[in-house]
Amino acid sequence: MSTTEDAKHGPHRTTPPELLEEAARFPALRAVFERRARRFPLGGTLTGPLAFDSGREPLALSADEEAVLVAAASGITGVVREEWSFLDEEGRTTGGDKLASFTGRTYPSPLANHSTEVFWTNDEGTYLIPQRDRRPDAYLQNLTTDEHRAWLGNAVRLTEGRLDIPRRRPNLFAFNRQNINLPGTTLFIPIADLTRQCISALLLYFDRPHGYYLVDQRLGNEPLRPFVESGLLDDSHPVDLADFERWQMVDANGVESGLVVANLMTATQALGLGGHPFNGGKGRVTMGGERHWHTIGGEGPAGGLGFRFHRVPDWAPVGAGEEIPVGLDGLFEGAVPPYHATVEDAVDFVVDLRWGPTGTFTGGGPAPWTDPGLVARIPRPSAEAIAAVKTWVRYVWDHYGRFPATIDPFLTTVWYQAHHLDTAFYDAYYPGEALPAHVRDHLDRWHS
């Protein structure tokens, strides 16, 4: 098989097991301290002061290399410990019942929502493993390369061939265009669902013992005033709608995606691959494709992931007439219409993920503790707090024509590319220590 064919069919190649075992034993602290962005791939070209033309054929990641990275990015690792108080010393709830899941993942998540799914594209297609609602198969899992390889078998292929990411204005910064999404590379795209994140956070904010009060300063409205009068909420330090949503954007799209990328950087270091994070393409373009690319002034073709979009009403105070992504049918759906008949139904859905017939706290999967009776002693969300959340989301939907009100329901910011390095570029411009030995020797040892 020629190297050109390798680039096309690379994911089908296998790796000697002893090399995978060696990568699995790679010291974690060494991976952290030797970690660097290494951007120049086989087949790459760079202009300017660091001008270089690889002159070599690209080489795709093997199936085993890609499997390790996919598992490291967002794989399920078993059951979490959940060492929460749940009740304080006087028996009052602490809000621990708002946790979304007992499922351990490679990246930690605020409220265990795991709002982020990781898409990836290579020469053969664009993929996703839907997993945010999957339960663990064992208390500890996904610890071996055999499990990683099996996990990759769960991938759903969304497109044939590499996703067309426009490498031009206004999609990518100019310094990121030349060597992004080239043949042989694997590009990882974390995307966060803000709808579940916002509803989960509202449940936490409103219920006892917190009782935080949200207002809408933009429109001058206080839809939650009745819950102040009932004693559930405290209006002494009101929180504005826009501030609340921005905080959820940071938690779900910033924190989670950043941790996913950190995992990918550490894993590529252990494997001896090149890779680097970068500010990715426009979210609506990536999720929706060419029509959304042209809407922002882009020219030429653009691929998309096939998300469903919602048109914001013309009367809306934010984003009037714009189209915003609300989910990927059957695979990654938002807690909003049309996936739920009403926004109130979406709230019930999020509550049921914890406390429904097969919820986290009600027998829907393995519990963290040896004593099964512990779950029964954890308090449930109060009916009044759930009513307050429904009041708030109904207000947002009726006054903004969307949910959330000020940010897109699905967001993506930071991406990561993994690839095989052309070490000749580094030899041309950098001292020898720029590449650790296992990175420099990767092609000879793994793909000779």
Long-range contacts from 238-243, C-beta under 8 angstroms, 24+ separation: 238/213, 238/214, 239/205, 239/212, 239/213, 239/214, 239/215, 240/214, 240/215, 240/216, 241/214, 241/215, 241/216, 241/217, 241/396, 241/405, 241/406, 242/217, 242/218, 242/405, 242/406
The answer to whether the CB of 411 falls within 8 A of the CB of 198 is no
Across the 448 residues of the chain, what is the mean pLDDT of every consecutive 10-residue run? 37 80 95 96 97 97 96 94 88 87 91 93 97 91 91 94 95 93 98 97 96 98 98 98 97 95 97 97 97 95 98 98 98 98 98 91 82 86 97 98 98 98 98 96 94
Tell me the residue range of the domain where 196 lies. 3-446
pLDDT of the residue at 376: 83
| Burial category of 304 from C-beta neighbours within 10 Å (exposed 0-12, middle 13-18, buried 19 and up) | buried
* Of residues 366, 320, 329, the one with CA closest to residue 78: 366
Torsion of CA 262, 334, 152, 413, to 10 degrees: -30
The answer to whether the CB of 382 falls within 8 A of the CB of 206 is no
Distances (CA, A) of 337 to 88, 269, 352, 401: 37, 42, 17, 11
pLDDT of the residue at 6: 39
Report the C-alpha gap between 34 and 438 in whole angstroms: 11
- Beta-bridged to residue 41, according to DSSP, are 421
pLDDT of the residue at 13: 67
Number of domains in the chain: 1
Strands 234-240 and 212-215: parallel
> What's at 419, amino acid-wise?
H
Q: What angle (nearest 5°) sits at the alpha carbon of residue 261, between those of residues 189 and 204?
A: 90
The answer to whether the CB of 296 falls within 8 A of the CB of 170 is yes
Establish how many alpha carbons lie within 13 A of residue 279's alpha carbon, considering only the half-sphere containing its beta carbon: 8
pLDDT of the residue at 8: 39
The answer to whether the CB of 110 falls within 8 A of the CB of 262 is no
The answer to whether the CB of 385 falls within 8 A of the CB of 203 is yes
Strands 308-311 and 116-121: unpaired
